[in-house]
Structure 1
Amino acid sequence: MIRPFVGRHRPATDAPAVEGALLLDAAGPEAIEVRARALAVGAHLATTLVVTGYPAEVTAGWLAPLLNFPGHLDVALHIEPVPNPVAAAGLKKQRARLESGRRTGFDKGRLDDPEVEAAAADAAELAYRIARGEGKLFHVALYLTVHAEDEDTLAEQAAAVRSIAESLLMTVAPTTYRALPGWLATLPLGIDTLKIRRTFDTAALAACFPFTSPDLPITTGENATASGVLYGLNAVSGAPVVWDRFAQDNYNSITLARSGAGKSYLAKLELLRLLFTGISASVIDPEDEYVRLAETVGGHVVALGADGVRLNPFDLPSADGGQDILTRRVLFLHTFLAVLLGADQTAADKAVLDRAILAAYHRVGITADPRTWQRTPPSLTGLAAVLAEDGSQAATDLADRLVPYTTGSHAHLFNGPSTAATAGHLVVFALRRLPEEVRAPAMLLALDAIWRQVTHRGQRSKHLVVVDEAWLLMRDGAGARFLFRMAKAARKYWTGLAVVTQDADDVLASPLGRAIVSNAATQILLRQAPQAIDTISENFHLCHGEREFLLAAVRGEALLLTGDRRHKVAVISITAPGEHEVITTDPGELAAERPEDEALDADGLAGEDPFGTGEAGWQA
């Protein structure tokens, strides 16, 4: 039966339905079809379930699982206060009936009924609370309307909602032959067209409201106020999702997504909002995606690979607490050279390198004596000279492999004194100008510079280290070990490590990568490729619904998990227009912002030569 609302009016005897119909005349669907247990509302179907039975005892926020249902579900809670005189009279009659039943059974020699005894005790306690003004009674009705595109899906979704309700010890029933009043009862009209109610007291009613987040625990700061930054909106309930990584067991995070899913955008959004809370940050940026953000907030950009920009791997940090800085630096240089030379080193190679590194320091007057640690450190040229003088075959081979970085094509990258400052409230190490072959050692060197700032800064404060495109470092064993050590030790220095990568296999296929994930209390998954979803599902223990969400997620939709897997929430990231202008790297948007005459150089050519042919760029 088709019943259009437009132009229809109900008799005055059905006042609630008349009000609903009049409102729907302007804002309702073009037509509805009323069936026995469902409605065809426009292009979709809807069915309503009524809660007829409730559990005897509940905890605060016990209805939260219904709000987290991964489907289209409308939950309506109708509340009508009962005047105290009416409530007192009703309780008096109820206590009289219960007491009469108890005495009748006692006179006939029957045993006590535990349920009747409990009900009598509860009624007496409630009557005394109302008499003292400690509570009130309310008529409460709870309705659940499920929406779906077709009948099969509607049946599945309704069965899932019924299962959740029964797991909460509630009894639900369909609105058979009352589908239209049931649907109207769950619309935001404030009209209870079914009036299937139960009586609640104040404490029971308060427990129905999810005052605490149904998805993530609320964290508070020193002043007992909510802490954290806004990540976005709950994709199911639309509630704000606020998360504080620095209130968790550790401050690390892992972000995994396919290319173009918005992982760097989300990382920049969190970084920008954390900066407003007074947190300092350092970023490893292989694609110069954080440069605009740094320039906007007054940060410092270290463009490695640019003319005159260099970090010396032999630099010594300032002495702190009597630590043997020289020994620690030698150990780091072993890791750096292993990544730089790109080949597994034998025991003989490591022994030769160890002697050569110490000799290079000794030649410039730096020894185990802390008083010498302030002298100018050596460079790769000094190390190559020591290796050349060694005379052994291993030393000669190592010296030959260092030639591109001492006197060859890459000599300007790592050979020489440091020329860039690495301190500031936001420092971005931009690596886009570097050749692909040396990005991994450059990332490692930048991480070392960041770590020295973290461990030797005078005033301890919250600090975030963002490693974007971490797969560049994770694919190398020595680089993965350095990242793993940072993930383990960062918490001791009030520092969080945020690992952002698009290659799940590089992270999850190795024990070191899985250890980095397990040491991340904040885990963010965006859209995944079908080829990687099995690995992601297995390692992050995703259910079928979460798996399907990640396969179908659009840009900006993410699944936020805590490290203990107890809390999961689907998030839709939201940004203000000003934030978007700062953090976007969409080529189309950037091209629209740049005037055409500024995009072209003086010769009418745009951009750099992408193929190394020597041409200035494409002809405009």
Structure 2
Amino acid sequence: MKMRPHTRRADHGGRPQRLAATVAPASVEVTPRFLRIGDGYAATLVVTGYPAEVGPAWLEPLLSWPGRLDLALHIDPLPAPIAAARLRNQRARFESSRRADGERGKLADPMVEAAADDAADLADRLARGAAKLFRVGLYLTVHARTEDELLEACAQVKAAAASTLIEVQPATWRHLAGWTTTLPLATDSLQMRRTMDTAALAAAFPLASADLPAPLPGDPPADGGVLYGINPDSQGIVWWNRWAQENHNSVVLARSGAGKSYFVKLEILRSLYQRVQVAVIDPEDEYLRLADAVGGTVVRLGAAGVKINPLDLPAGDTRPDLLTRRGLFLHTLTAVLLGQQPPPAERAALDRAILAVYRQAGITADPATHHRPAPLLRDLADCLHADADPAAGQLAARLTPWVHGSFSQLFDGPSTSRPDGHLVVWSLRHLPDELRGVGTLLALDAIWRQVDAPSRPAARRLVVVDEAWLLMRDGEGARFLARMAKAARKRHAGLAVITQDVADILGTDLGQAVVANAATQVLLKQAPQAIDAVGDAFGLTAGERRLLLAARVGTGLLISGTNRTSFEAIASQAEHQLCTTRPSDLADFENEEEL
């Protein structure tokens, strides 16, 4: 049977007729098993069986089905007298069945016993006004492009419903009525209802969604943020603003090759469009092409002639406790250099030497003296040698490799670089492995001095620490990073921690503190050996764990409080050329440039 859409003749200029001709399909073909609507196919499934108990968002498996599915929930409240009468009759039938079985000597039917107990509990709550009854109809209309695709889609929807003990049946010979029932017309043409109480019905609301929640009515519209990617479940846009969260920190955890640096470079590039100043700790020179393209500054620690003086004072900082705070950092640096916290006697000698070396350079608590050239690490070692305390001499001997030995080239002169600009990349590629942790700490200290400077304007600053495990494996370095994570928000800054070694982050109290102080958490593909630790730390469901184990490159989860969604990072061709590190892509780009 074929039908043409019926339109009412317009009284004034044919407006309703034109509207119907625009919105309605060209034709509707009705068959026993499906409808052919225009150039597509549709079939309606009716929910005929429900689980005995439901939990929150029990409709989520149907709502998150990736195809085109129209779900309609028709609700009619039952007046209290009618509800009480129906429930009383139902209880009478249950009681009659129980007595009949008892008189015949049969064992009690567990299904009847459970239903009778539930009915008694519902009657009690209904009498006290704690619950109400509703007539509920749940209908699903599945759409597809061809008849074969429609059959396959209906089978998938039935399987998704069966996973939560929901039974569905096709509306055979009534698909036209089913289709109109799932249209936004507030009309139930099928009238296949089920009685539900308030708790069961309330568990279906709010309807779960694979996308991030939109602002509530009355809230100001959200602005700012960057594009993270596409939601593969709903094909929606994942747009995220770290600066609108309770803190501005983020953590990115993924196995090697999962695309974590690619994703972070995309966020950096898109953040620069919004005048965010970015500083990056780059252990493997992955950010150099991006810095060259946007006119950033690159500081290559370990390269010939590049020096960092850890005793430098921040320019323009006139706070009276400046020397005290610098001395505390030198204690932290010494502990990282030695690989452990020095004993109390050596710490006391180090404190005396710090005060003495600045005094010899003519630098005191008076801000007028802070512009004078800062002493060097070897000057600090000389002060330790001059101290009569044996602990001072022992500490000076332990610092010899960093002052006069194999590791001294980074510290044996005044600082040669001025890391200023909208993007500053601290490259650690040229440092030996023994100096990677120290180089990361020095770079973070230089960045923090800019973030913490009181004379600086309140610009947004993003500090990216790639391969954070290099610093987390050192106790004092991990403490420095944890303090930075807690204090960054007050300086209008955000800390982005990236690592492939999940154990170094989640296996220590300091690492967990860094994660706990990150309002934005991104999980990409995980290794099977680490998925249990990640799942327990972030409260992942079984489905989310399977997603992370089988995720493609650049695909993962965005988690922020109770909000979580999957996303797939996307990039334009120009962004891809700047962010990729795949050798085949880089070779193709070089060949194109030569041509």
1:284 & 1:67 partners in 2: Cα distance?
44
- Secondary structure, counterpart of 2:426 in structure 1: strand
Give yes or no for the alignment of 1:371 onto 2:384.
Answer: no
353-362 or 502-511, larger mean C-alpha shift: 353-362
Q: Give the aligned partner of residue 231 of structure 2.
A: 234
Q: Give the aligned partner of residue 157 of structure 1.
A: 160
Unpaired runs of 5+ residues, structure 1, are 1-9, 29-45, 55-61, 80-93, 102-113, 115-139, 164-171, 183-190, 203-207, 599-620
TM-score after normalising by structure 2: 0.73
- The 3 A distance-change label for structure 1 pair 153 and 65 is closer
Equivalent residue runs for 1:203-282 within 5 Å: 215-218=211-214, 224-282=221-279
**Pick aligned residue for 2:45 from 29, 46, 49:** 49
- The 3 A distance-change label for structure 1 pair 147 and 421 is farther
1:235: how far off? 1.9
1:593: how far off? 2.6
8 Å Cα contact 1:288/1:430 also seen in 2: yes
Q: Give the aligned partner of residue 511 of structure 1.
A: 509
1:295 & 1:264 partners in 2: Cα distance?
17
- Secondary structure, counterpart of 2:585 in structure 1: helix
Q: Give the aligned partner of residue 29 of structure 2.
A: 16
Give yes or no for the alignment of 1:76 onto 2:74.
Answer: no
Q: Give the aligned partner of residue 132 of structure 2.
A: none
- Secondary structure, counterpart of 1:16 in structure 2: strand
Equivalent residue runs for 1:110-259 within 5 Å: 142-143=140-141, 156-160=159-163, 173-175=168-170, 177=172, 194-196=179-181, 200=185, 215-218=211-214, 224-259=221-256
Question: Which AA in structure 1 matches 2:256?
Answer: S
Q: Give the aligned partner of residue 548 of structure 1.
A: 546
8 Å Cα contact 1:462/1:495 also seen in 2: yes
1:211 & 1:297 partners in 2: Cα distance?
44
1:527 & 1:197 partners in 2: Cα distance?
38
1:49 & 1:520 partners in 2: Cα distance?
44
8 Å Cα contact 2:297/2:424 also seen in 1: yes
**Pick aligned residue for 2:570 from 574, 592, 599:** 574
Q: Give the aligned partner of residue 485 of structure 1.
A: 483
1:401 & 1:152 partners in 2: Cα distance?
72
2:160 & 2:208 partners in 1: Cα distance?
26
- Secondary structure, counterpart of 1:20 in structure 2: strand
1:425 & 1:588 partners in 2: Cα distance?
30
Q: Give the aligned partner of residue 591 of structure 1.
A: 587
Question: Which AA in structure 1 matches 2:362?
Answer: G
1:570 & 1:219 partners in 2: Cα distance?
19
2:380 & 2:462 partners in 1: Cα distance?
34
**Pick aligned residue for 1:340 from 337, 342, 355:** 337
8 Å Cα contact 1:305/1:413 also seen in 2: yes
Q: Give the aligned partner of residue 301 of structure 1.
A: 298
- The 3 A distance-change label for structure 1 pair 363 and 210 is same
CA RMSD of aligned residues (A): 4.5
Q: Give the aligned partner of residue 290 of structure 1.
A: 287
Give yes or no for the alignment of 1:427 onto 2:424.
Answer: yes
Deviations 1:555-592 (A, max 9, x none): 11111100x2x111011111111110111111221133
Question: Which AA in structure 2 matches 1:74?
Answer: R
1:225: how far off? 4.9
8 Å Cα contact 1:508/1:514 also seen in 2: yes
1:176 & 1:211 partners in 2: Cα distance?
24
Question: Which AA in structure 1 matches 2:479?
Answer: R
Q: Give the aligned partner of residue 395 of structure 1.
A: 392
2:206 & 2:236 partners in 1: Cα distance?
11
Deviations 1:401-438 (A, max 9, x none): 32222222222212221111111111111111111110
- The 3 A distance-change label for structure 1 pair 337 and 236 is same
1:477 & 1:47 partners in 2: Cα distance?
62
8 Å Cα contact 2:248/2:518 also seen in 1: yes
- Secondary structure, counterpart of 1:591 in structure 2: helix
Question: Which AA in structure 2 matches 1:467?
Answer: V
Q: Give the aligned partner of residue 40 of structure 1.
A: none
- The 3 A distance-change label for structure 1 pair 488 and 64 is farther
8 Å Cα contact 2:286/2:581 also seen in 1: yes
1:389 & 1:481 partners in 2: Cα distance?
31
1:21: how far off? 8.7
**Pick aligned residue for 1:465 from 452, 463, 466:** 463
Equivalent residue runs for 1:420-459 within 5 Å: 420-456=417-453, 458-459=456-457
1:397 & 1:455 partners in 2: Cα distance?
34
1:318: how far off? 3.5
1:330: how far off? 0.3
Question: Which AA in structure 1 matches 2:161?
Answer: A
Q: Percent identity?
A: 48
Give yes or no for the alignment of 1:474 onto 2:477.
Answer: no
Question: Which AA in structure 2 matches 1:560?
Answer: L
- Secondary structure, counterpart of 1:528 in structure 2: coil
8 Å Cα contact 1:561/1:567 also seen in 2: yes
How many residue pairs get matched? Answer: 497
- The 3 A distance-change label for structure 1 pair 152 and 201 is closer
2:70 & 2:158 partners in 1: Cα distance?
20
1:398: how far off? 2.2
8 Å Cα contact 1:487/1:516 also seen in 2: yes
